[in-house]
Amino acid sequence: MSAMILAADGGFTPPGPAVFDLPPYAAGIDKPMTLLVLAAVIVGAYFVLAARRAAVVPGKLQYSGEMAYGFVRNSIARDVIGSHDFLKFVPYLVTLFFFILVNNLFGIFPFIQFPTFSHVGFVYPLAILSWLVYNVVGIQRKGFVGYLKHQTVPGGVSLPMLFLLVPLEFISNILVRPITLSLRLFANMFAGHLVLILFATGGEYLLFHSSVLFFKPIGVISMVLDIALFFLELLVQVLQAYIFTLLTANYISGALAEEH
């Protein structure tokens, strides 16, 4: 509806994928790359400062760090991977969750307002790293042939059905997972940021620049909806960090499991 109204007005150019193509500051350095480094510094500094003066009675910073660490440790790593194997994966999962979370929150942070993972090229390395982690631990646990059999040969299936299921299981469990893991995060960050820009710029245009008086109230509605979408996007950003980490833990659990 908003697009139709703006098209009828004729003076507004809606935002598109080009808004994500930011010019570099210098050769090979642009805003998304800077945000990746900034996120790593923020996450690292936060946990270093939270743990630097550990005390029996924690201060506010230590308490928040312990709560943040405990959330991933207990609610994701231990609950999904299991109490026997989870501890060795906690550092990776904690780092993964908060690194993704901070990069996602950049999309609504004032003066930054750019979700780093709206560039799929930054998401693929994370997914490949998770893919390497769960495949390597699976191979270490079961051996290469045993792990390949574990991931591709379902139990209790007749031989004729295996000719159909084994290729599908191989594609699903070995090849496709890093792609689906990447696209889920990328698509949500890309689409959410684009929608926020559309409602904000469209509402601003209808309210202040359109020559049609009837469009002024619609501009107000668009701005109000943009505020509502802002909070929805905040929820999506947190959920996507959680889902990416949860799926990584689930894949590790599946790689270590005794049964297919």
Residue 2, pLDDT score:
52
Q: What is the domain partition of the chain in residue ranges?
A: 22-256
Coil, strand, or helix at residue 26?
strand
Residue 9, pLDDT score:
55
The partner residues of 210 in beta bridges, in order of sequence, read none
Span between the terminal Cα atoms of the chain, in Å: 48
Alpha carbon distances (Å) from 18 to 21, 118, 131, 175, 190: 5, 12, 30, 30, 12
Spatial distance between the Cα atoms of 51 and 61, rounded to a whole number of angstroms:
9
Residue 224, pLDDT score:
92
Coil, strand, or helix at residue 29?
strand
Alpha carbon distances (Å) from 96 to 16, 39, 123, 179, 235: 29, 11, 12, 17, 18
pLDDT block averages, 10 residues each, the chain of length 260: 52 80 81 94 94 76 91 95 93 96 94 92 94 95 91 81 87 91 95 92 82 79 91 96 96 84
C-alpha 215 chain-centroid distance: 36
How much is the pTM? 0.90
CB 105 within 8 A of CB 23: no
How many other C-beta atoms are found inside a 10 Å radius of the C-beta of residue 238?
15
Residue 6, pLDDT score:
53
Residue 101, pLDDT score:
97
Spatial distance between the Cα atoms of 199 and 217, rounded to a whole number of angstroms:
14
Residue 86, pLDDT score:
94
DSSP code at position 157: -
